[in-house]
Structure 1
Amino acid sequence: MSNIFAVILAAGQGTRMKSKLYKVLHPVCGKTMVEHVIDHIGSLNVERVVTVVGHGAELVKETLGDKSEYVLQAEQLGTAHAVQQAEPILGSLEGTTLVVCGDTPLIRPETMQALFAHHEANNAKATILTAVAENPTGYGRIIRDADGQVAQIVEQKDASAEQQLVKEINTGTYCFDNKALFEALKQVKNDNAQGEYYLPDVIEILQKQGEVVAAYVTENFDETLGVNDRFALSQAEELMRARINERHMRNGVTIINPASTHISADAVIGSDSVLLPGVIIEGKTVIGEDCKIGPNSHIVNSKIGNSTTIHSSVVLNSQVGNETAVGPFAHLRPESTLGDHVKIGNFVEVKKSTLGDDTKVSHLSYIGDAEIGSNVNIGCGSITVNYDGKNKFKTTIEDDVFVGCNSNLVAPVTLKKGSFIAAGSTITKEVPEEALAIARARQENKLGYLSKNKSK
């Protein structure tokens, strides 16, 4: 295969989205549409990728980073004008150029590869990615001649009654001989109702020059969906979610109710893990084998070990070890790290803390800015008092410490190895190894107190 280049059209604002966010930056399954497109292209052997930016240029560049080169379409004058902006980068190169819209997140890499292969097999100067639509209304029709070759692309408004019956449509994705593309772009005119330069006009120009123009029909019309409004965005989300869930299930993950399970495109889940209804997995989360997640758990950009349970809980930007249990109704805030065989019980919140192997925080506790060793027991209702109103301070709990119920550990403070904190204590200074710390008022009973008050 010859050198491959790609041009991504991402300059439009997308007024029909009715949003302050530029169209190609709207997410589908946790990743922006234009990221889906560029990641699909990235899985091919593409030499150079050029993204045409306009509205929201800086945000698009920030999102894609060094995955692409960029050119600016300062004034949106049509798709041919947009591609022409890439000429300073690509115009002199020999090879094949893919042109794809940044709002088509569902086109698979396999389809792009098949489009390239069809283009080369037919020795074509241009190849159109087409699809068969049950309801082709609104799409440009692919009109073929008696030999089955592409004769023309006719837009809906220009199509005759007979042409409107054609169900093969133009998806807006193309392969071109690179030099032929940029030569033809110079001949595109804007003598149309919108006064814009349209990329499909390149097809007609090449045909008039006697060049071969081919069409590759994708088997799945859904792949070609272009997102122009919020309804289409919801369709793309549903289709992508079903695709992602199917991939995981075929790889050995059990999803009890796929319709209520949302998994990001970049998540990795090990075999024999089970996802219960209502689970949301976002970002670059990695979940090990034999885990049980849910119901109604929310995990974002986290790493979960093998044979771990996350039950009705929230885990954000954290790491959880093997054979660990979290929940129900627990909250792991960012930068929390749990070892193996750890238990985080109901209504426990952990923030920016490390908990060693076999440590238990079973219920109704807050652990913040703490470093906790192995085999530590944190009793019910205990908290690390990490904030004085201005600054955060660290609590250090060494191995084999027992913290009794309803204890306050006022940071900065250290509980040394094997120490024991009596229930109800407020600890403000270091506790030595294997010491018992009691810090509470002595109980005093007032005999007859109630009967005396009743007689008054």
Structure 2
Amino acid sequence: MAPAPDIAVVILAAGQGTRMKSVLPKVLHEIAGLSLIGHVLATAAKLEAAHVIAVVRHERDLVAAAASAQLPATIFVDQDDLPGTGRAVELALNALPAAFVGHVVVLSADVPLLDAETVADLIRSHRIAGNALTLLSAVLDDPTGNGRILRDVDGVFCSIVEQKDGTADQLAVREVNAGVYVFEAALLCRVLAEIGTENAQGEKYLTDAAAAIATAGGRIAAVPVTDRWLVAGINDRVQLTDAAVELNARIIRRWQLAGVTVQDPATTWIDLAVRLEPDVVILPGTQLKGATVVESGAIIGPDSTLVDCEIGAGAVVKRTDATLAVVGAGASVGPFAFLRPGTILGSDGKIGTFVETKNTTIGAGSKVPHLSYIGDTTVGEGSNVGAGTITANYDGVNKHQTVVGSQVRTGSHNVFVAPVRIGDGAYTGAGTVVRKDIPAGALAITAAPQRNMTGWVETNRPGTAAAIAAAAAEQEVSG
């Protein structure tokens, strides 16, 4: 969108959200990887407005920190003890530069599905019509709790009446105020200074500005939206979940239309920031979170959670939990793998069943097939780490590095006591505890000689099933 130097966006984010029953401010609850206010800030950013002002109060420092991290240019205004949306906007207008001339867009921080295109269309309609106020409305089956849009017999906008102030006839109206406004800034400043708190809630309503603008002769239009989800507000956990489900369905549909197979949308969750290429296949029970990127032909799932991961073309990741990991093209991960931050698996490599990795780079074609913990390690290309191998990387104070070269073959149940290096082409025997560096091409074995203590079971465990079986075997051998 083109920059809009004559647009200021005000985001109302002062409410506590008591119906959420949470220590976390309502506007910081998340859907699709963004907080509620984060979604609204993203919309404001796309509008390229000259100013974005957030009005805060409850847990203001938490809200301001989260908003600043996403949109650093946000201006924060503290709501004072005079309640009401009208007062909040009045305070926000006071924070605008004195020279600002233009239009003020008012958004609510708890309406996450409203997109920039809808707001831009509203601004465009407002400009073309020369309105003093243009607002969004919606027709709801159950309008309870919402301000009603009142029109005359010709359908022309008259006013907005709040739920607690309406008569029975007024409350029978199903067209409601969606809480999205575009005002002519100078006129809004004047009328907000004039309106009072003479209403059932003793608040300074922003909606009363509409009646004042009409009285002043300003043109007003209410534009209905056909998609109610665009203006759906979040007040409790039920509405939070409903909005999350709806947004997730829209995200999935968008990716399906872009060439991604999502086998079971009902059990798949994809955050907004995720990026997928055509011919990716997502199997049931999969969550793709954060800034995860999956390249063409990769198969993810079933039952996998990827957070901020990069998955290469043609890779297969099944029943895996991974965070801040990179999986190369054609590589295989899982089932039941745990990739912690800093894991890098090269192309055509393998991290297999019940393997945990952390801060580890595994080279192209190398494999850690099963039952291993590999941490703070670098593995070269074409190596095979035997089943049950553990890197002992922590001495109780510091972490230490293990380096495994290329084309290495380690036996099952090895322990690499870091810091240690295994040279290129080296082999280790089963059960080896590696405490010293192994030269390239060497075989390392630390096994003690095996002792067979004949008759031990019959002597020390007489009468047990093992002793009876041993006696029978001895008798069979002796004939």
TM-score class, shorter: over 0.9
- TM-superposed CA distance for 1:340, in Å, is 0.8
Q: Which amino acid aligns with 2:94?
A: P
| Aligned position for 1:399 | 406
Q: Helix, strand or coil: the match of 1:431?
A: coil
Contact 2:164 2:200 survives alignment (8 Å): no
| Aligned position for 2:122 | 115
Q: Helix, strand or coil: the match of 2:64?
A: helix
Contact 2:39 2:112 survives alignment (8 Å): yes
Distance 1:415 1:180 in 2: 76
| Aligned position for 2:272 | 265
Distance 1:2 1:212 in 2: 23
Of 40, 43, 68, which aligns to 1:40?
43
Contact 2:5 2:49 survives alignment (8 Å): no
- TM-superposed CA distance for 1:239, in Å, is 1.2
Distance 1:327 1:69 in 2: 47
Distance 2:89 2:462 in 1: 94
CA RMSD of aligned residues (A): 1.7
Of 227, 230, 234, which aligns to 1:227?
234
Deviations 1:289-329 (A, max 9, x none): 11111111011111111111110110111111111111000
Taking structure 2 as the reference length, the TM-score comes to: 0.92
In structure 2, the CA distance between the partners of 1:42 and 1:436, relative to structure 1 (3 Å rule), is: same
| Aligned position for 1:27 | 30
In structure 2, the CA distance between the partners of 1:74 and 1:403, relative to structure 1 (3 Å rule), is: farther
Does 1:106 find its partner at 2:113?
A: yes
In structure 2, the CA distance between the partners of 1:235 and 1:451, relative to structure 1 (3 Å rule), is: closer
Q: Which amino acid aligns with 2:179?
A: G
| Aligned position for 1:128 | 135
In structure 2, the CA distance between the partners of 1:392 and 1:293, relative to structure 1 (3 Å rule), is: same
Correspondence 1:212-291 to 2 at 5 A:
212-291=219-298
- TM-superposed CA distance for 1:87, in Å, is 2.4
Does 1:436 find its partner at 2:439?
A: no
- TM-superposed CA distance for 1:277, in Å, is 1.0
In structure 2, the CA distance between the partners of 1:209 and 1:371, relative to structure 1 (3 Å rule), is: same
| Aligned position for 1:71 | 77
Distance 1:106 1:452 in 2: 76
Distance 2:296 2:181 in 1: 41
Q: Which amino acid aligns with 2:92?
A: A
Contact 2:165 2:199 survives alignment (8 Å): no
Distance 2:359 2:300 in 1: 22
Distance 1:68 1:308 in 2: 41
- TM-superposed CA distance for 1:91, in Å, is 5.8
Distance 1:128 1:296 in 2: 44
Distance 1:258 1:454 in 2: 58
Q: Which amino acid aligns with 2:208?
A: D
Contact 1:310 1:326 survives alignment (8 Å): yes
Q: Which amino acid aligns with 2:84?
A: G
- TM-superposed CA distance for 1:389, in Å, is 2.1
Q: Higher mean Cα deviation, 31-40 or 43-52?
A: 43-52
Does 1:89 find its partner at 2:92?
A: no
Does 1:201 find its partner at 2:208?
A: yes
- TM-superposed CA distance for 1:263, in Å, is 1.0
| Aligned position for 1:369 | 376
Taking structure 1 as the reference length, the TM-score comes to: 0.96
Q: Higher mean Cα deviation, 177-186 or 5-14?
A: 177-186
Contact 2:135 2:180 survives alignment (8 Å): yes
Contact 2:165 2:200 survives alignment (8 Å): no
Q: Which runs of 5+ in 2 are unaligned?
A: 464-479
Q: Helix, strand or coil: the match of 1:238?
A: helix
Distance 1:178 1:398 in 2: 68
- TM-superposed CA distance for 1:266, in Å, is 1.2
Instruction: Please tell me whether Structure 1 or Structure 2 has the larger radius of gyration of its CA atoms.
Output: 2
Deviations 1:158-217 (A, max 9, x none): 334433332221011101112222222111201222221110011111100001011111
Distance 1:281 1:88 in 2: 42
Q: Higher mean Cα deviation, 82-91 or 25-34?
A: 82-91
| Aligned position for 1:138 | 145
| Aligned position for 2:158 | 151
Distance 1:260 1:450 in 2: 54
